[in-house]
Structure 1
Amino acid sequence: MHPRLLPVLTKKPVPSKRVCAAKLASLVSKRADTEVRTKRAERPFSFLLSAPRFLLCPMSVLSTAAGTVHILDRQAAFTELAKRINALPGGRPTVALSGGSTPKAFYAWAVTTGALSSDTLARVEWHVSDERCVPLTSEESNFGNAARGMLDALGVADSLRKPWPVGQAPQEAADTYEKSWRTPARPKLYDLCILGLGDDSHIASLWPQCPLIANDQGRFFMATEWPGRGWRLTITATGLAQCGEVIVLVAGANKAPALKAVCSGPLDVACHPGQVLRKMASRVTWIADADSARLL
């Protein structure tokens, strides 16, 4: 080969602009990946800092200012509720049911599964913590729905059914129901009071700005006119404090802000009536699904 041609033949080809850009991108990617691995090595669990607290808890149980929150799916929630009812001590324990779609679903589940024992059905006295001033035959009646959805199907005796006297005028009905509890034979109110939580933070028929929140006159039960929803008969904050145990059922993403406000938000009971439960937090259990507990 001619000596003058040698430099030309051995000279390396000049890479194109596209090849240079690809190599540069590869180098940048490798450097970024190295930095990420280094940070993970320094703080291996830092990604958990932004995760919802209930995902970090292996038993899905949280302690809050308003009581203990159990995060459970529907099947587990209903199983836990039935377990609590079956475990009530005493000769004739009292259970207050609640209105709403979740209790209705529990009634159907209890009938289908037979989760409530025969002993429970023979001795538990059934009430509702609040009621609309409508006949028991109405689809709006909390006790009526409990009877049609569960008590009838399970053969609960009439003597164990204790509805509010809705045939009376609202305040008279509240007075009559109150007197039935003001006896030496009843040292406390319900052994187990089951409640729901509204997306406006209401419990029972204690709605936001309800006058009974600030002054229930030391009564266990009262009548109140809920603007736009009519007259209600309801347990009061004083009454709730006299219950042996309170369980609140919460389900749905729309309830998440309310659950957060009640359990961990600034204290404002007038706006968030569920916060009255903070005074009895040691006896309150919240059974919530993952959607409603996502902000805790």
Structure 2
Amino acid sequence: MKRRLRAPFFWLKSLSLVEVCVPAHLAIYPLLMANRFSTVAGEVHVLSPNESFAELGRRLNALAAQGESSVGLSGGSTPKAFYAWAVAHQALSPASLKNLHWHVSDERCVPLASDNSNFGHAERGLLNPLKVPAHCRFPWPVHLPPSEAAAAYERAWQERSPQKTFDLCVLGLGDDSHIASLWPQCPWIGKKADARFVATEWPGRGWRLTISELGLSQCASIVVLVNGKAKARALKSIIQDEYNPSLHPGQILRAYAPNVTWLVDAEAASLL
């Protein structure tokens, strides 16, 4: 008999959620009344999209206040919406623009100018409008063949940060439960890799460059943004279904649950 995990909802009332490094106008979002509960895949916060964006902005600013730090962004519609929100609300502190080093956790093998480039979207939607300096931007070397690009990116990481990947990795979630470019039946899932970044050919979608399970394991913190009813089944499968990461790649995050936070809206959480 399969055991279903049902997460309890409760109201969190804690002043610690709105602390330093948050512009005064962000306090309008009622973060104090967030539904929050623990699961096998990490802590889930049920928030409106604007509340999720405010919380992510708070975390980025708090990280930047500690000094130089690395951030891995993601592709997809929800991260793009965050870029627009962050620019419109001037949500990132001056320290964030100076101290954060910006990357993407996965990338398509296309030029940065392409509308399909994850880093290209981050540049056009967030980094360029905020005038983030060039030395804080770290795109994948997409001019190289996929395997060479992944190897070059890995070497660069070994030189800069031998023991750690991102200080904060921001992920989205596909409706097929993929994270980064670790897709259902991806050959890298469950495979012992000695690299934090790898190349993989996604059937029907072409070559991708992506963070690996090893890379995820070495992230200090992971935040997953999930919005919309179309993602409800995927989120449920990651948290409540039998463990089968080849079928539900997001279940990989169960291994790193203490470092994982899910910022999800009510529609995405509707099946929990």
Cα shift readout 1:20-78 (whole Å, capped 9, x = no counterpart): xxxxxxxxxxxxxxxxxxxxxxxxxxxxxxxx856x42231111100000000011110
* 8 Å CA contact retained: 1:216, 1:236: no
Aligned to 1:220: 196
User: 2:80: which partner in 1?
Assistant: 104
Counterpart secondary structure, 1:183: helix
What is aligned with 1:281?
A: 257
Structure 2 length as normaliser, TM-score?
0.87
1:58 to 11, 16, 19: 11
Which position in structure 2 is the counterpart of 1:3?
A: none
Percent of aligned pairs sharing the same letter:
55
**Matched-pair contact (CA < 8 Å) for 2:71–2:167:** yes
Question: Any idea what the Cα deviations from partners look like across 1:254-289, whole Å, max 9, x if unmatched?
Answer: 111110110121101110010111111000000000
Preserved CA contact (<8 Å) 1:246 1:283: yes
Q: Could you tell me which of 71, 96, 106 is aligned with 1:95?
A: 71
CA–CA distance in structure 2, aligned partners of residues 232 and 83 of structure 1: 30
Please tell me the residue identity of whatever aligns with 1:159.
H
Q: Residue 161 of structure 1 corresponds to which residue in structure 2?
A: 137
1:198-277 equivalence runs, <5 A: 198-277=174-253
CA contact (8 A) 2:193 2:212 kept: no
Aligned to 2:50: 75
SS at match of 2:150: helix
Q: Distance between the aligned counterparts of 1:217 and 1:186, measured in 2? A: 15
In the alignment, the residues of structure 1 paired with residue 160 and residue 110 of structure 2 have an alpha-carbon distance, to the nearest angstrom, of 30
Cα distance between partner residues in 1 of 2:127 and 2:175: 28
Instruction: Give the 3 Å change call, closer, same or farther, for CA 120–186 of structure 1 in structure 2.
Output: farther
For these two proteins, the number of residue pairs brought into alignment is 244
**Structure 2: where are the runs of 5+ without partners?**
1-5, 13-34
SS in 2 for 1:239: helix
Matches within 5 A, 1:123-162: 123-162=99-138
How high is the TM-score relative to the length of structure 1?
0.80
Q: Which residue of 2 aligns with 1:28?
A: none
For residue 184 of structure 1, report the CA deviation from its aligned partner. 6.5
Kindly provide the amino acid, as one letter, of the partner of residue 10 in structure 2.
C
Which of 67, 85, 96 is matched with 2:60 structurally?
A: 85
Alignment partners' CA distance in 2, 1:229 and 1:184: 31
**1 CA distance for matches of 2:240 and 2:7?**
13
Identify if the C-alpha distance between structure 1 residues 53 and 273 changes in structure 2 by more than 3 Å, giving closer, same or farther.
Answer: closer
Residues 90 and 180 of structure 1: CA distance in aligned 2, closer, same or farther (over 3 Å): farther
Alignment of 1:10-89 (within 5 A): 56-59=9-12, 60-88=35-63
Contact 2:44 2:264 in 1 (8 A): yes
Displacement of 1:166 = 0.2
- Structure having the higher Rg: 1
Matched, 1:293 2:231: no
In angstroms, what is the RMSD of aligned CA positions? Answer: 1.3
Does the Cα contact within 8 Å between 1:193 and 1:243 map onto a contact in 2? yes
CA distance in 2, matches of 1:184, 1:129: 16
Question: CA–CA distance in 2 between the matches of 1:234 and 1:274?
Answer: 14
| CA distance in structure 2 between the aligned counterparts of 1:104 and 1:160, rounded to whole angstroms | 19
Amino acid at match of 2:126: M
Q: Which residue does 2:92 correspond to in 1?
A: 116
Distance 2:212 2:52 in 1: 26
Cα deviation code 1:146-172 (max 9, x no counterpart):
000010000000000000000000000
Structure 1's unaligned 5+ residue stretches are 1-51
Task: Check 1:91–1:58 CA distance in 2 against 1; reply closer, same or farther (3 A cut).
Answer: closer
